[in-house]
Amino acid sequence: MRTRAHVKFRAAPPARSVKELLARTGPQLTRVTDQAARQHSWREWLGKLLPPELHARVSGVHERDGALVVFAESAAWSTRLRFALLELEGTVRAAHPSVETIQVRVLPRH
């Protein structure tokens, strides 16, 4: 005969503030928010260097392990972005010595 083990879960007391709620989420949320802040910072910085019509076609930016990956919304825009970033490569590396490679990929907007 099978029996079920009954496990009781104790609910955490309700959070009194958003700050308290966010503090409970632990390092996962911190990692996500840090990554989002870095992406935003990169987008703003690249926005100062790229022509406005080209910057408007950037769908994302990601830096990881020495690689800066810039996403364009289409293959056509990725080609133009690739050439623009080649011209800016020295400026990018001077400002961010941790960047070893710059890659351009396609990531359509939803």
Element (H, E) at 106: strand 101-106
**pLDDT of 15-45, one tens digit each?**
777 777 666 666 666 777 888 888 999 999 9
Determine the Cα–Cα distance for residues 107 and 70; give it in Å rounded to an integer: 9
CATH class of the domain comprising 21-106: alpha beta
* Contact assessment for residue 98 and residue 65, using Cβ atoms and an 8 Å cutoff: no
- Sorted by where each begins, the domain ranges of the chain are 21-106
Could you write out the DSSP letters of every residue in 2-67?
Answer: --PPP---PPPPPPSSHHHHHHHTTHHHHHHHHHHHHHHHHHHHHHHHS-HHHHTTEEEEEEETTE
pLDDT tens-digit profile of 44-83?
Answer: 999 999 999 999 999 999 998 999 999 999 999 999 999 9
Task: Find out whether 56 and 91 touch, Cβ atoms under 8 Å.
Answer: no
Find, among 61, 69, 72, the residue nearest to 103 by Cα. 69
